[in-house]
Structure 1
Amino acid sequence: MIFSDPASVAVVGASDDPAKWGHWLARGALAGLDRRAVHLVNRSGGSVLSHPTVRSLSELAEAPELVVLAVPAAVVPAVVDEALAVGVRGFVGITSGIDERVIGRIREAGARLLGPNCLGVFDAATSLHLAWGRFQPGSLGVVSQSGQVGLEIAGLAASSGLGVSRFVSVGNQADVTATEALLDLVSHDMTTVVGVYLESFGPGIVAAMSSLRAAGKPVVLLTVGSSSAAQEAALSHTGALTSSLDVVDAACRRAGALRVSTPAALVDLAAVLKSGIPRGGRVGIISDSGGQGAIAADLAVAAGLSVPALVSGRNPIDLAGAGEQDMENYTRAVSALVRGGEVDTVVLSGYFGSYGADTPSLESAEVSVATSICSLARETGVLVTVHSMCADSAAVRALRAGGVPVQHTIERAVAALGDAARLGALSRPVAGTPSGPELSVLPGIIESGDPFGGDPCVSLPYRSGYLAARELLSFVRFPNAHPVTSKAEVVATTLRGPYALKADWLAHKSEHGGVKINLTDPAAAFEEMESRLGPGTYVLEEMDTREHAVELIIGAKRDHSFGPVILVGAGGIHAELFKDTAIELAPVTPATARDMLARLVSAPLLSGRRGAQPVDLTALAQVIAQISETLVARPDLAEIELNPVRVGPDGVLAVDALIIPSGDTLNDTSGRRVA
């Protein structure tokens, strides 16, 4: 309760100057005087905002439970030492540049620090206002790594009629983390929806978002990282195909949260979710203009919603002036849609909300209709949203107060509904999806022998080559093959042609001429390849000659924020060109793996085209799941990649593979391990 409902607070650096942080913090703290003791500390003494001050914390008869640091960084060490000496157990670090040694002293004393470099904390339920800015009480919980972005979200929430239940600016997260702040909202009764802005993700963030979802509090996430500069460079195809936002979206799917791209989109979606999550994506549209209804329909389809033809009547419904004749026609139209059972959401678009603003004598009737629309939405559980040509009116305010979101533009109204429908789908987890990293180790993974004689639980082969990967991934079917280091070994092969010859150590074999296929004279090919690449271990392999096999890539890597992830996509040498991929957090079940395959643009190839038979999806999904479990079970692995994986009606065959031990760096030109 120390950061949500402290018994007493002290603002160090309180000021009468409205331009200073200390003024805003003092004013906010004093707003809670009826609930807690408030102490203002100013080294010059006197009064601030007509409230007496003390020159230092040591002058107080009792230690305040929570201290706000709003003084220059150079002064902070002395203030913290004094606070700890008198028994303070909580700090809000507004000041930036607080020394690590000071943070260490706070931790050693068993105290907690929010920040530093944060905008503060606000809790509407407990009249706690220790932050810059003004906050309208409401139902949106806000946790933000950036104080300014968080303040923008709070301002937009106020203008939308949503308001803020709790605001936590975590700043540098030197102690209190965003994960802790989110978990604290699970039991916060006033919070019904949570908005999060994060630039980095710490441990437990997925579990925290999942806990909020389980508590019936949907999470909307805003983050950054779509630019190529924000993506992690990697040696493998898997790394090159995995952007930071791909992984964030996978984390959201696992947690049942949704990522948006702007603060406005976050608030628009939160305003819809305040009334619940839609049961599906079917939308009914009502307008008092044929043009506005058509625009709404087009935008709805673009947002991923469906505008079904209704047995009960037309969709969109064009009132065509019926509202002017009798305003209750709006109520009747909404009632018909929400009670008809044919739609999951309703959009009312056009002039409604403007009658009372333009013609004051109509205000009372319009507000009455607005109240009826809110009652219909609550009664039926069908989400209703309104696009009004009037930005603010008595009817608009009545709609928002009754739980019906209102937007001044149709594109924002429909986009929010589309996002809400997607979140609804995410909130229905795929059956059998693992709930955490715990899993039983598959036979043949940990127990399988290291081809170089080492302990597979502790170390990996010196080289991360194809042969080592084949040995490790014993549950995957590979073509018949054997290592060769000389022409004589190639000549003596008992394998059947046509052949493939590969340089075992190269990660990207094609780029460096380290693979040759469809060989009838492998000995000559070996001589040529060895003359270019030098002595080493090569792999002679039987070619997969099956017709109509589909080439895929299956890759697993360890993300620095979210841990193991699994990727599947269009494979072969053009994998990075097509970038047709699906990504999830690992481990995944075969059911989730099949869902990933269905999301690929190239998914129709798997079902058989132009006379080809469907591929063995059951075997393919099992391999994907096992690869994901392998990476989770092997902390000594950084990456696993199978590319290409050739899959046909008779099963799965991997024709190249790569493993990268944790901490390894490979030089892809020579393929030799770099110390």
Structure 2
Amino acid sequence: MSSGATLGRLLAPASVAVVGATDRAGAYGRHALENLLRAGFGGRVVAVNPGRREVLGTPCLPDLVEAGPVDAVVVATPAATVPAVLATAARLGCGGAVVLAAGFAETGDAGAQDRLLAAAGAMPVVGPNSNGVVAVAARAPMWGDAVTLPDPAAATTALVTQSGNLGVLALAHRAGLGLHTVVSLGNAASVDAAAAMDHLAAAPGVRVVAAYLEADGDGARTAAALARCAERDVRVVVLKAGRSAEGRTVGGAHTASLSGDHAAFAALAREAGAVLVTNPHDLFETARALAAGRRDPRGCAVVTCSGGDAAVAADLAADAGVPLTRWAPATLAALAAALPATATPTNPLDHTNLVWDDPAALRRIGAAVTTDPDVGHALYVQDEPAGLAPADAAEWRRTREGALDGLAAGGGSPLLVATTPGQEPAGAVGGLLPALLAVAALRTPGPSPARLREVAAAAAAVARRAGPDASPGRWLAEHEALPLLVAAGVAVPAHGVAATPREAAAVAARLGVPVAVKLSAPGLLHASEAGGVVLGAEGPASVEAVAERLLGAPGPPAGARVLVAAMAAPGAEVIVGARADGVVPTLVVGLGGIWSEALADVVTLPLPVTPDVVRAGLLRLRGSALLTGGRGRPAVDVEALAVLAARVGDLLLGCPDLVSVELNPVLVNGSGAVAVDALALWTGRAAPA
């Protein structure tokens, strides 16, 4: 894959050659050339077609060699001819290529794509099967469909998309206002999402990177690209397809179903402060709101002229996790003086239509709101119906401008928001939810580049040990997994392993306390469901009888043993799991026991983690009060749980043969945390010593 550092000439070209230029209606070669001419591209444009002397008024060269080392080569020729064109471009020293042709890996022809890559060598290639690149600031729409260049004055958002059609939608949506660059990755044979994001994060003028992704991609390089965004306070919004797909790990472990592939990706995105959205409209409009906003930890004020809008805004703010400011006494007094007598000084605030088209009154109301010490973000909500008569449009404009002037009095940059697509006034964000999602992100401190680089390093290390010939692994017997936990400092009950009923009795005699007796065998994931667990057995004779039954059951698994362990003190049941097979390695912590999947109350954290990171994650659980002492319950030892979970993460990262480890349940009470059940997916040829 190409490094983002190599993409400067391709994504901001001063010279472009269109290979396959033609005047044939509907052809990629026509659109690509025509777009450049219509956009007023200020650099050198070269048309290449051996069968034409001139295309669309542009002189045509017979071969790319005569064009020389241009910055960008748009390849609009059939798939079979592409490798030769790329080989020539690479030999000339061109900055990169955009391949519009299909007919490569997306059709199952991996060989054709391999030949393309071999021909390009180190030269970066966007595509194949790409719609192209639109570089707004460079006035270079290298695009295979007809496109009008967006207004470069408002260019702040770079869009990276694995769907060419989503790029088309973005350019058409509100005339592409706000777009700085659009990169349609196509098959991403050379330039992938991570490379494009890494480069665009450092591009002049970019404030937001928006991404539509279908594949997870290279987790280490994605994390590194997100670190670059964090370093420059470039905000990120992502629409990730495949949220409903099951995790790749199968075989019955709870961790896989609770934290599948999307959960791992979402955890990485959350670590990067990215906003995750679920549809293209929210992708575009959240990007617009992120570009306009500023970071501020304080609350939000919403002002509108509609009681309905105010009520909906209150609900959506709760959904987005945005606290609405409670007015300070001074604010209430100022609002009482500024509002009509029939208005109620709530937040969201309906100023009523009694001050419609009264800019002076609206300025007083807005100023009263944003001088409140706890207002860091302010939204003014107004939709403008299409087709208003000029006089009516002026009335709507005076109303919103008066409110926005007032809301800016506190030194902020209020956001104009419309609730209904198609009714946005100029400059407005379309949709309350996108605006509030952006506010929620901007209330948090900027993400830590150092933390993201740690995640990138961990992901790279795990990827190196999971080569193409790596074993899919096998589930260890619990008695084989326990030594790993003990060596990592993870608390487990005192225990012993027995191959015969007599040995089991001896272990029980040594422990001298009530014990749990469990059948332990490779591949046995849930012994309790198989009738292989007896709790609270007392005395050697009782334990011997239980062991005889478990080991004598019809067809006991190969390598079966009896695990005899001291009964742990009661406590809250928690699941702790770690996986190495997601986009980045992750730790999962949440409410556990036999109902862990039904409750589905877990947090997923990219590895590595510290106890502090785990503790903060635990507080995000819906049921965190079960751990912290809600409703009169005693608080459990959250610190011990956080330390145990962090050690499990360290174990996964430090053991090359581990793919997954799950402890369910971990019993946590007021005096500690102990893992009473363990699963481990192991790729080593021999069981751990």
Q: Same fold (TM over 0.5)?
A: yes
Greater Cα shift, 426-435 or 490-499:
426-435
Give the whole-Å Cα distance in 1 for the aligned partners of 2:617 and 2:306.
41
The structure that is helix-richer by fraction is 2
- Equivalent residue, structure 1, for 2:336: none
Matched, 1:97 2:115: no
Q: CA 1:639/1:211 → structure 2, altered by over 3 Å: closer, same or farther?
A: same
- Equivalent residue, structure 2, for 1:149: 166
| Per-residue deviation, 1:88 | 4.0
> Alpha-carbon deviations, 1:384-422, whole Å to 9, x = none?
3333779568xx22xx1xxxx343xxxx22x12321133
Aligned pair count? 627
Q: CA 1:12/1:345 → structure 2, altered by over 3 Å: closer, same or farther?
A: same
- Equivalent residue, structure 2, for 1:77: 83
- Equivalent residue, structure 2, for 1:64: 70
Give the whole-Å Cα distance in 1 for the aligned partners of 2:71 and 2:351.
60
Q: CA 1:195/1:55 → structure 2, altered by over 3 Å: closer, same or farther?
A: same
> Alpha-carbon deviations, 1:530-586, whole Å to 9, x = none?
122256222111112x34x10111000013422x10001111222222211110101
**What percent identity do the matched residue pairs reach?**
28
**Which amino acid in 2 is paired with 1:127?**
R
- Equivalent residue, structure 2, for 1:570: 591
Pick from 579, 582, 585 the counterpart of residue 557 of structure 1.
Answer: 579
Pick from 469, 472, 480 the counterpart of residue 494 of structure 2.
Answer: 480
Q: Name the TM-score, length of structure 2 as normaliser.
A: 0.83
Pick from 524, 535, 541 the counterpart of residue 565 of structure 2.
Answer: 541
- Counterpart contact for 1:68–1:130, Cα < 8 Å: yes
| Per-residue deviation, 1:469 | 2.4
Give the whole-Å Cα distance in 2 for the aligned partners of 1:100 and 1:432.
36
Q: CA 1:191/1:631 → structure 2, altered by over 3 Å: closer, same or farther?
A: same
**Which amino acid in 1 is paired with 2:525?**
A
Q: Considering only aligned residues, what root-mean-square deviation do their CA atoms show, in Å?
A: 3.2
Q: Name the TM-score, length of structure 1 as normaliser.
A: 0.85
- Counterpart contact for 2:247–2:257, Cα < 8 Å: no
The secondary structure found in structure 2 opposite 1:75 is helix
**Which amino acid in 1 is paired with 2:517?**
L
Greater Cα shift, 270-279 or 191-200:
270-279
**Which amino acid in 1 is paired with 2:97?**
F
- Equivalent residue, structure 2, for 1:445: none
- Equivalent residue, structure 2, for 1:454: none
| Per-residue deviation, 1:375 | 5.3
Greater Cα shift, 288-297 or 576-585:
288-297
- Equivalent residue, structure 2, for 1:584: 605
- Counterpart contact for 2:178–2:288, Cα < 8 Å: no
Pick from 634, 647, 659 the counterpart of residue 626 of structure 1.
Answer: 647
Q: CA 1:139/1:87 → structure 2, altered by over 3 Å: closer, same or farther?
A: closer
Q: CA 1:198/1:514 → structure 2, altered by over 3 Å: closer, same or farther?
A: same
Matched, 1:222 2:239: yes
Q: CA 1:344/1:61 → structure 2, altered by over 3 Å: closer, same or farther?
A: closer
- Counterpart contact for 2:579–2:652, Cα < 8 Å: yes
The secondary structure found in structure 2 opposite 1:344 is strand
Give the whole-Å Cα distance in 1 for the aligned partners of 2:673 and 2:37.
69
Matched, 1:205 2:226: no
Greater Cα shift, 638-647 or 492-501:
492-501
**Which amino acid in 2 is paired with 1:572?**
G
- Counterpart contact for 2:46–2:67, Cα < 8 Å: no
- Equivalent residue, structure 2, for 1:668: none
The secondary structure found in structure 1 opposite 2:439 is helix
Give the whole-Å Cα distance in 1 for the aligned partners of 2:227 and 2:174.
23
| Per-residue deviation, 1:323 | 2.6
Give the whole-Å Cα distance in 2 for the aligned partners of 1:430 and 1:208.
13
Matched, 1:343 2:379: no
Q: CA 1:220/1:519 → structure 2, altered by over 3 Å: closer, same or farther?
A: same
Q: CA 1:364/1:104 → structure 2, altered by over 3 Å: closer, same or farther?
A: closer
Q: CA 1:76/1:433 → structure 2, altered by over 3 Å: closer, same or farther?
A: closer
Segments of structure 1 that go 5 or more residues without pairing to the other structure are 441-457, 665-671
Give the whole-Å Cα distance in 1 for the aligned partners of 2:248 and 2:514.
40
The secondary structure found in structure 2 opposite 1:239 is helix
Give the whole-Å Cα distance in 2 for the aligned partners of 1:599 and 1:468.
33
Give the whole-Å Cα distance in 2 for the aligned partners of 1:86 and 1:303.
52
Q: CA 1:321/1:157 → structure 2, altered by over 3 Å: closer, same or farther?
A: closer
Give the whole-Å Cα distance in 2 for the aligned partners of 1:624 and 1:102.
47
| Per-residue deviation, 1:347 | 3.1
Pick from 508, 525, 549 the counterpart of residue 507 of structure 1.
Answer: 525
1:101-500 correspondence runs (5 A): 101-108=114-121, 110-131=122-143, 132=145, 133-137=147-151, 138-156=155-173, 158=175, 162-200=177-215, 201-202=217-218, 203-229=220-246, 232-280=249-297, 282-310=299-327, 311=329, 312-313=331-332, 314-315=345-346, 316-324=348-356, 326-350=358-382, 353=384, 358=388, 360-361=390-391, 363=393, 367=397, 370-371=400-401, 380-381=411-412, 383-387=414-418, 391=422, 396-397=425-426, 400=427, 405-407=428-430, 412-413=431-432, 415-429=433-447, 435-437=453-455, 464-474=476-486, 475-493=489-507, 494-500=510-516
